[in-house]
Amino acid sequence: MTPTPTPRRWWPAAALLLSTVVCFALGGVLDHGTLDLGVTLLCYLAIAQAWNILAGFGGLVSLGSAAFVATGGYAAALLLVHTGLSWPLAVAAAPVVAMLLALLLSAALLRLRGDYFSVGTLAIAIALQALIRNWDWAGGASGVTLPVDAVPSGGNLFQLAVIVAALAMALTLHARHSAFGIRLAAIRDNEPAAAGLGVAVRRHQLAALLPSSAITGLAGAVIAFQFVVISPDGVASVSWSLNAVLMTVVGGTGTVLGPLLGVAVVYYGLTRELQSEQTLSLVIEGVLLIAIVRFAPQGVWPLLCRTARRLLGPRPGTGRPVTGRGDEDETVPSGTETLAMDVA
C-alpha cells in the first residue's frame, strides 16, 4: 500500500518557502558551473514531482512525461524564434500549451486503466517525437536554435528553475495534505469504492493530469533555454519519461521528499559524478533499480525514515516502536479508508 495523504500542516509549506527563498537568493552568488548543475537538478525535480503527483498519488503511471517536456520546450522556443515574444511570455505560454495538450488527450487517456494507460502515454510521447521530427516549421530533425541573447542564463535561469521546482513541490504538498489528495489516493487504491463513496473519478484524475502536465511543460521551457538548441532527440527524447520514473521510484513514490532524494541519487550521484565512467553508471543504475524494486518497493526515502525510527527506538509516551514509512505512517489508513471515515 502506498502512502496516503495526511492532514495539512503549516511547517512543510514554511520549509518549502524558506528553501525557495534561500535558493532564489543563491542565484546571485553561485558560480556558473554550480548554477548550471542546479538548473538541471531542479528541472529533473520538477518533472519527477509532476510524475509523482500523477502516478504516486493518483495511480496513473504515465510514461508520457517526455511529451509534455517537448511541448513546453518547443512552445517556448517556437514563440521566441517565430514571434519574437520575450522569454517571460514564452515561459508563461509553455504550461498553457502543455495543459491544452493534456486536456485534448485526456478524453482518450483517462478511459484507459493500469498498463493500458502507461502504454497509451508512451505511445503519445513517441508519436509526438515523430511528429516534431517531421515538422519543418519546428526545425524537423535538426531542431531549433534559440537566440542566445534572448534567453535567460546563469543566475536568472537558475532562479526560474527554482520557481518551477518550488511550484512542483508545492503541488505535491497540496496533494499530500489536502482533501483533494485524499480523494485522489482513494481513486488510486480502489476506484470503484471511491466512486461508490461519491468521488468524481474523471474530474479528479483530470485535476491531477492538468497541473502535472503544466509543471512538466514549464520545466521543458527551462530546459529549452538551457539547451539553446532543441531537437527531437533532445527535449522530445523518451529518456525524460524514464528518468522521471527512475528518480521517483528510487526516491519514493507517493512521498513529498522521495523524488528530491531520487534526483540527487540518480542524476547527481550516478549520472554526474560517474560521467567519466558511463558504463559503470549504467550498471549501478540498473542494479539499484532492481534492488529497490525487490527490497524497498516504496523507495529509498521511506526506507531511510523507517530505519531512522527503528534506531530512535520507541516513540515517547507510547511504549511501542515506530515503524512508519518515510514522512508517511502505516497507521494512517488508505485513501479509501480515510475517505470512508470522513464520509461516516
CB atoms within 10 A of CB 333: 14
Q: Which stretch binds other proteins (CB under 8 A): 17-25, 50-58, 87-95, 181-189?
A: 17-25
Nearest approach in angstroms of CB 173 to other proteins is 11
Q: Show contacts with other proteins in window 203-242 (CB under 8 A).
A: 226-229, 231, 233-235, 237, 239-240
Q: Are 57 and 184 in contact (CB under 8 A)?
A: yes
The torsion angles phi and psi of 274, rounded to 5 degrees, stand at: -105, 25
**In the complex with other proteins, which residue's Cβ is closer, 53 or 257?**
257
9 in contact with other proteins (CB under 8 A): yes
Contact flags string 243-282 toward other proteins, x per CB under 8 A: -------------xx--xx-xx---x--xx--xx-xx--x
Q: Which is nearer to other proteins, 36 or 191 (CB)?
A: 36
What's the chain's Rg over C-alpha atoms?
A: 20
Give least dist CB 260 to other proteins, A. Answer: 6
Nearest to residue 68, comparing CAs of 222, 232, 257, 215?
215
In the complex, the smallest distance separating the C-beta of residue 228 from other proteins, rounded to whole angstroms, is 4
To the nearest whole angstrom, how small is the minimum distance from the Cβ of residue 206 to other proteins? 29
Q: How many CB atoms lie within 10 A of CB 100?
A: 16
**Does residue number 36 form part of the binding site for other proteins (CB under 8 A)?**
yes
CA-CA-CA-CA dihedral for 117, 109, 220, 263, to nearest 10: -30
Kindly state the smallest distance separating residue 273's Cβ from other proteins, in Å: 9
When asked if residue 343 is in the footprint of other proteins (CB under 8 A), the reply is: no
- Show Cβ contacts of residue 5 under 8 Å, excluding neighbours closer than 6 positions: 57, 175, 176, 177, 178, 181, 182, 184, 185, 335, 338
For residue 92, the one-letter residue type is: A
Interface mask (CB under 8 A) for other proteins, residues 152-191, using x and -?
A: -x--------x--x---x----------------------
**Nine cell digits for residue 123:** 505511445
Nearer to other proteins, 106 or 239 (CB): 239
Closer residue to other proteins in complex, CB, 119/130: 130
Mark residues 98-137: x for contact with other proteins by CB under 8 A, - for none.
Answer: --------------------------------x--xx---
Q: What angle do CA 181, 214, 16 make, to 5 degrees?
A: 60
How long a stretch of residues is the chain?
A: 344
* Shortest separation between residue 48's beta carbon and other proteins, angstroms: 11
Tell me if residue 233 falls in helix, strand or coil.
coil
Of residues 287-326, those binding other proteins (CB under 8 A): 305, 308-309, 312, 315-316, 322, 324, 326
Write out the DSSP string of 201-214: HHHHHHHHHHHHHH
Residue 122 or 305 with smaller CB distance to other proteins: 305
Cβ of residue 6: shortest distance to other proteins, in angstroms?
Answer: 6
Q: Are 68 and 210 in contact (CB under 8 A)?
A: no
